[in-house]
Amino acid sequence: MISGPDVSANLTEAARLIGEAATAGAKLVALPEYFPLIGASDAARLAAREQDDGGPIQEFLSGTARKHGIWLVGGSLPLVADDAAKLRNTCFVYDDGGRRVARYDKIHLFSFKRGTESYDETLSIEPGHEVVSFDSPFGRIGLAICYDLRFPELFRALGEIDLLVIPSAFTETTGRPHWELLLRARAVENQCYVLAPAQGGRHPNGRMTYGNSMVVDPWGKVLARLDKGNGVAAAELDLERISEVRSSLPALLHKRL
């Protein structure tokens, strides 16, 4: 997606894309980080925060999952935090009946400064503290968000998983040299699939995100990619492929630390 500051417009576009994926046969769909809101003022982002027990964005995700009979990883949305002046960057997951099955709050907060380009998520976001994984018809799924991708210890803490879902909004500057490299590394070292839906393009506020949404297999092969723009990237998850890779190269059994 290339989300903007209008929540209603972003939900409409997300609904269209989810419908496109479901019509094509997708059973698990994931949205990018900040899919309902990018480029708004800090005040507008705080105003859009939802409580843990519901809100319009959560109702959209639950209802859309139920409508299409899919499992839906809801990218991330702004949630209330313990600090009243901040928000949690939260990913909710819903099953095919629209029931919430997981919540993950982004742990690692992005900071970057080079020339006139500067980001510091600690100013407005409160970090999460718990790693999250859950069982599904697609195997055991682990969650992470964007900048978390740079911290392999988080993924080791998840234990053995079959699929990592990593909604993101990588910047163009950092994404070009690092995004694919890191995604493929996480797939190879954890011998699992990686599903990484990403914001990709120039947003209304001028921000440029790298895109390149990908599905990567346990051997590090990129199975699907969407460079920039609104659209769908899809691939098949084969649990037998995971077993094959782990049997031929049992690296997960060889861990010492």
> Crossing angle of helices 56-68/7-23, nearest 10°?
10
User: What does the pLDDT read at residue 219?
Assistant: 98
Which CATH entry fits the domain spanning 7-254: 3.30.1600.10, 3.60.110.10, 3.40.640.10, 3.60.15.10? 3.60.110.10
Task: Give the pLDDT of residue 41.
Answer: 87
Neighbours of 58 (CB within 10 A): 20
Q: Which residues are catalytic?
A: 33, 106, 146
The whole-number pLDDT of residue 11 equals 98
Domain boundaries, the chain: 7-254
- Separation in Å, CA 153 to CA 110, 131, 135, 176, 222: 17, 11, 21, 23, 23
Mean pLDDT per 10-residue interval, the chain, length 257 residues: 97 98 98 95 93 96 98 98 97 98 98 92 97 98 98 97 98 97 98 98 95 98 97 98 98 94
Cα(5)–Cα(202) distance, integer angstroms: 13
Which pairs with CB-CB distance under 8 Å and at least 24 residues apart come from 57-61?
57/7, 57/11, 58/92, 58/100, 60/11, 60/14, 60/15, 61/92, 61/94
